Amino acid sequence: MKTGLRITAFAAALAATFGTAYGVGSGVGEISPEPKSAAHGEHADAARPEKSGGLEQGHEQGETAAPPGGLQISDGGYTLDVKTVRLQAGKRADLRFAIVRNTTGRQLTRYDREHDKELHLIVASRDLTEYRHLHPTRAADGTWSTPVDLPKAGGYRVFADFKPKGGEALTLGADLAVAGAYEPKELPAHNTTAEADGYEVRLGGDLTPGTPGELTFTVTRNGKPVRDLQPYLGAYGHLVALRSGDLAYLHVHPNGEPGDGKTRPGPGVAFTATAPSPGAYRLFLDFKHQGKVHTAAFTVPAQGAPGTAASATESEHSH
């Protein structure tokens, strides 16, 4: 997708809505913070004419700045109720939770599927050295559960990424404690190549605060490009970016999809990403090859201090 020129043209306008999501072109594969409600509370289900297309099309320009997803346990009229708030390090156990509608106190049972699933669950350690992307099963009463085994003790964050039926996509986040001897780790150093189960993944491109940029992951094995990646969740890769320091959640998807006539099954998988702020981000790429899903992790700095770029200075005046 050659959206670069359009993106450049929009740069000044985008800067004014620093931290919000942007709609560009068809919207396929764009990356931005999770769509958020401009207004919070009871009207989460009310149709918003400017937000009709779900996760991908839900990113529109011209909205007021909203925080990235995952920072709140309750948003858009829904609350993440984690029923298992404590686990034991190294012990496999069920993680149970539900999405509760604030107005009724009832557990949500009707969802719109996104990327093949009603709900995506991400579990990450606060130090960003542990990551799980899970697809729990839902009981008829709306209680979700999935087995999880977290080898390291410490503070974790649980993210539920879902779309209530007819509503707006949301990512809610809640804390999870894993008991055991806790050894906080430093954020892994900036890297542009990562090893994952014998695969090497190379990252090209940059994260620039407030500006969409293309990130390309190239998958090789034994020095040979992998050209037969398999679709996973409707794409050739699934990328989650978490901001170091507060674990703000950016759910991102590739440019193009399998079967669109132009997207190849590797070795490159491209995304368009917008960092909501300067800082360090941890990127987790899931890809599927020969029937197995692998995860490659990267630490990526988003460069540029606030106020140094002309565009960032402009945003000061827009308040």
| Sites of contact with Cu ion (CB under 5 A) | 120
CB of 159 to Cu ion, least distance (A): 10
Between CA 109 and CA 123 the distance in angstroms is 22
Shortest distance, position 135 Cβ to Cu ion, whole Å: 6
Q: What tokens does 205 get?
A: 């491109």
> What distance, in Å, lies between the first and last C-alpha atoms of the chain?
33
In the complex, minimum distance from the CB of residue 181 to Cu ion, in angstroms, rounded to a whole number: 31
Distance from chain centroid for Cα 235:
14
* Total residues found in the chain within this entry: 319
CB nearer to Cu ion: pick between 120 and 282: 120
**Position closest to Cu ion via CB:** 120
> Which of residues 136 and 304 has its CB atom nearest to Cu ion in the complex?
136
Q: Give which of 3, 16, 13 is closest to 317, Cα–Cα.
A: 16
Tell me whether residue 48 or residue 251 sits nearer to Cu ion (CB atom): 251
Q: Which one, of 190, 201, 193, lies nearest residue 268 by Cα?
A: 201
* Residue found by looking up tokens 């858009």 in the block: 76
**In angstroms, what is the minimal distance from the CB of 18 to Cu ion?**
28
In the complex, the smallest distance separating the C-beta of residue 286 from Cu ion, rounded to whole angstroms, is 8
Q: Quick one: how many helices (H) and strands (E) in the chain?
A: 3, 19
Cβ burial, residue 105 (10 Å; 0-12/13-18/19+):
exposed
Nearer to Cu ion, 120 or 163 (CB): 120
Q: How far apart are CA 236 and CA 257, in angstroms?
A: 7
Q: Identify which of residues 134 and 312 has a Cβ nearer to Cu ion in the complex.
A: 134
Judged by beta carbon, residue 106 or residue 135, the one nearer Cu ion is: 135
Q: Give the whole-angstrom CA distance, residue 245 versus residue 313.
A: 24
User: CB–CB of 154/178 below 8 Å?
Assistant: yes
Alpha helices of the chain — where are they, by DSSP H?
A: 4-16, 54-57, 310-317
Q: Which is nearer to Cu ion, 48 or 120 (CB)?
A: 120
**In the bound complex, what is the minimum distance in angstroms from residue 264's beta carbon to Cu ion?**
23
CA neighbor of 233 nearest in space, from 293, 170, 315, 172? 293
Q: Which amino acid is at 45?
A: D
Question: Which C-beta is closer to Cu ion: that of 126 or that of 251?
Answer: 251
Taking the C-alpha atoms of residue 208 and residue 275, their distance in angstroms, rounded to an integer, is 6
**Dist. CA 231–CA 253, nearest whole Å:** 12
- Least distance from Cu ion to the Cβ atom of residue 33, Å: 17
* Residue 273 burial (CB count, 10 A): 24
> CB-wise, 16 or 235, nearer to Cu ion?
235
Closest approach, Cβ 267 to Cu ion, in A, equals: 23
Q: Shortest distance, CB of residue 61 to Cu ion, whole angstroms?
A: 27
